[in-house]
Amino acid sequence: MSFKNPVLGLCQQSSFMLSAAKVDQCPEDQGFEVAFAGRSNAGKSSALNTLTHASLARTSKTPGRTQLLNFFSLDDSRRLVDLPGYGYAKVPIPLKQHWQKHLEKYLGSRESLKGIILLMDVRHPMTDFDKMMLDWSVASGMPMHILLTKADKLTYGAAKGTLLKVQTEIRKGWGNSVTIQLFSAPKRSGLDEAYEVLATWLDLMPEASVDPAQV
């Protein structure tokens, strides 16, 4: 890594903590948490595993495998949270309703939550779920950073063009508070920007020296 970020070492020593089906099963609400959200098959588990240099989150060719709030410990006061994938058609409706109910409760009540990493497939960005999360982020004042995943599936020019297009759409609809970048787990590209956002939110680098791309 060319950028020596203080969060990198913590991510490399991260470990599974617990899974929660309901908010009252979550760890004690103190310290710092960053949650990873994304529509099913947006590459959320792959991104988490790449950032932590581990196989913390299960990956599958079958979307919708993440059915619980999964907590990963970085140290005694810092955690990453893998939120349930959302929107996969083959998931039974009652399970979808359960996910939505507890996801909304977690997002709305968790004091230790400091920011949301929203994963969007660069080939299919700005789904209804993505727009719902953007609405919630702006309304609640919760910081949000977007990873446009699977950037390796497009040429550099096409990926950059999508980035600029999504930036413009978000600026018009949700303002300038959301940050966004390209990301590829297989190519390990976009790691420095993502680590810097995590370090700032986890109170490890209060004064970032390089600002992430803003919309």
What's the pLDDT tens digit per position in 97-149? Answer: 666 777 788 888 999 999 999 999 999 999 988 998 999 999 999 999 999 99
State percent of the chain over pLDDT 90: 59
State percent of the chain over pLDDT 70: 80
Q: 124, 148 in Cβ contact below 8 A? A: no
> What is the per-residue pLDDT across 19-34, written as a single tens digit (0 to 9) for each?
998 889 999 999 999 9
Listed range (57-71, 76-90, 123-137, 148-162) with the worst mean pLDDT: 57-71
Per-residue confidence (pLDDT) for residue 63, from 0 to 100: 44
Average pLDDT over residues 62-89: 77
**Among 106, 53, 80, 110, residue whose Cα is nearest residue 204:** 80
Per-residue confidence (pLDDT) for residue 12, from 0 to 100: 83
| Rounded Cα distance, 36 and 116, in Å | 6
Per-residue confidence (pLDDT) for residue 210, from 0 to 100: 46
